[in-house]
Structure 1
């Protein structure tokens, strides 16, 4: 592997660059993390799993990463040695494996990744798959959605028990899924005539452009201020109530929408007729829009991404929504 370089501020760098391995790099947020790490100047590796098979879009994505300067590393979760070998190439490992709303391979794969990191013994920072609600604050979440948070806490417990330096990045709703549709179910574009408002619509929610989330993640990996810390992505101009989000769209489009307020009891009433994954999603939505689980606690300036990295000019939702005009 050659000279691993010197250690700076708790992160080993090679040739002045932090070596980052992204696991799940072809996923929804993973592909953005890969590009953000490259843009940040990190020496970026992407785990290439044999399970990719004949998925031509993922193969082409991996090739596009190579053109940008990333290095592809073969490794399989069914081959522990290959995983350890891949991990040994990196100073920092970022997991971007997508999860589902019930116990899945995701947690099992992350636990295998932790085992590989522990055995490799060289990783100076691990960022597990998080990026949403803070699982440490969701112990009373509605079932079955609570399983998601329980699993993430299980991963955290394994990380901390192994003594692996880490950073947890979380705290916002991805704009493509929650802002562009004005937080409506079963659509990803703004409604044209009517809009459902959850409760009184005055609960504060945090929205973030996915590319901005990736940029913040890439910033944290070699920042000594974020070692063994939680970084919350809470850009102040994107902390909006549901009514404020709808109001932004109405101003941009020049059209007022008819508003139907949905009471909490009515919102939850149909859960029992849904599949488990849908029930979990509804529960998560409820905690965000009715209980304000993203904003019902204080975050210090030393743990909020836009304060830590003011050089990231994040996308405001009034600008983001213009793409739908």
Structure 2
């Protein structure tokens, strides 16, 4: 049996990072997590790190994190695959990961932090446009250095978009009385369970079919329009919701008048539900592959199944 790649996750205590660490362990990969020394001073993250250790993760503490080039190179020299799941504020600093990978010279796959829309095909209009641009720049920098890559594009996560029916940013459950629908409500979007993102990502790291490609996660049972998503929820709770439609013009005005992070969230909604940035194009073999087609053995969680827990 071929030996499994050694995987380093940078940003492993974060929202998606934790699930990728767990998926790597489940798949039997020697798993490493690059942790800032300061992380252990956060009681929640310290508990996560201790859980990693007890599960067999090799913890690599770096005082300067991405800014300590020598330590970063030393960490990368120990692995075969580097997966970055750093947050928004660190996205641009991934050039330091690229430089360290280039110097180490041993990495056979790099997965930069994306885990959302395909940034080469997304069309944000406000703060999201800036984020997409930074992620695209990291793609170009990776390619320019000749580093083997896979870009993971899972579209909308359940936690941020499905569980609230894409209502207010800080909502905690689907609405029971009124739903605000962005645009005309017929544009299709894609929803994916965060644990499935972890599973598909780890499947891809040793797969030659995903080398230098975008891995799109578009499970066929999880492609819904806003109107279809609302109708499914109404059926589950046995009640019709009052519907308010927000036009493109109204949403653009809200984005312009809102402050962070609300403006960013609204801009993502515009990208997904008005522009249709997740479904307006076909996945061509020249640039991408689709995860649920490549790995039919993974039983992904459907939108229908996930919403049951909130009934």
TM above 0.5? yes
* Structure 1 residues 266-305: aligned runs within 5 Å: 266-300=250-284, 303-305=289-291
1:25 partner SS: coil
Shift of 1:249: 1.2
Identify the residue that residue 3 of structure 1 maps to in structure 2. none
Match of 1:314 in 2: 300
1:269 is paired with a residue of what secondary structure? helix
Structure 1 residue 316, shift from structure 2 partner: 0.5
TM-score, structure 2 as length reference: 0.94
- 2:222 is matched with 238
Among 155, 162, 167, the residue aligned to 1:184? 167
String of CA shifts for 1:112-164, please: whole Å, max 9, x gaps: 111111111100000000111111113x5313321111101111111111110
Indicate if the aligned counterparts of 2:128 and 2:268 stay in contact, CA closer than 8 A.
Answer: yes
Q: 1:273 Cα shift? A: 2.3
In 2, are the aligned partners of 1:23 and 1:46 still within 8 Å (CA)? yes
- Gaps of at least 5 residues in structure 2 are none
What's the CA shift for 1:300? Answer: 5.0
Distance 1:171 1:67 in 2: 29
Task: Spell out the pairing of 1:52-63 with structure 2 (5 A cutoff).
Answer: 52-63=39-50
| 1:5 match | none
RMSD: 1.6
Question: Which residue does the alignment assign to 1:141?
Answer: 124
Cα drift, residue 98 of structure 1 = 1.4
Q: What do the CA deviations read for 1:264-305 (whole angstroms, capped 9, x no partner)?
A: 111222223222543233222101101111000012587000
Paired position in structure 1 for 2:240: 256
Instruction: Please give the alpha-carbon distance, in whole angstroms, between the structure 2 residues aligned to 1:188 and 1:94.
Output: 29
In the TM superposition, residue 77 of structure 1 has moved relative to its aligned partner by: 2.2
Query: d(CA) in 2 for partners of 1:86 and 1:238?
Result: 38
Moved more, 267-276 or 52-61: 267-276
Q: Distance in 2 between matches of 1:212 and 1:53?
A: 27
Q: Does 1:97 align with 2:80?
A: no
SS state of the match for residue 113, structure 1? helix
Instruction: Please name the residue that 1:324 is paired with.
Output: 310
Instruction: Name the CA distance, whole Å, in 1 between partners of 2:210 and 2:272.
Output: 25
Structure 2 contact 5–29 (Cα < 8 Å) conserved: yes
TM-score by length of 1: 0.90
Measured after TM superposition, the shift of residue 56 of structure 1 is 1.1
- Match of residue 96, structure 2, among 99, 108, 112: 112
Which of 132, 152, 155 is residue 172 of structure 1 equivalent to? 155
Residues 165-211 of structure 1: CA deviation (Å, up to 9, x unaligned): 00001041001110111111231311110111122211100000000
**Alpha-carbon contact 2:91-2:134 (below 8 Å) kept:** no
8 Å contact 1:177–1:188 — kept in the other structure? no
- Distance in 1, matches of 2:223 and 2:255, equals 28
Contact 2:156 2:190 in 1 (8 A): yes
Residues 35-64 of structure 1: CA distance to partner in whole angstroms, max 9, x if unpaired? 001111111101121121410111110111
Which residue does the alignment assign to 1:86?
75
Runs of 4+ in structure 1 off by over 3 angstroms are none
Structure 1 Cα separation of the partners of residues 309 and 53 of structure 2: 29
Contact 1:74 1:86 in 2 (8 A): no
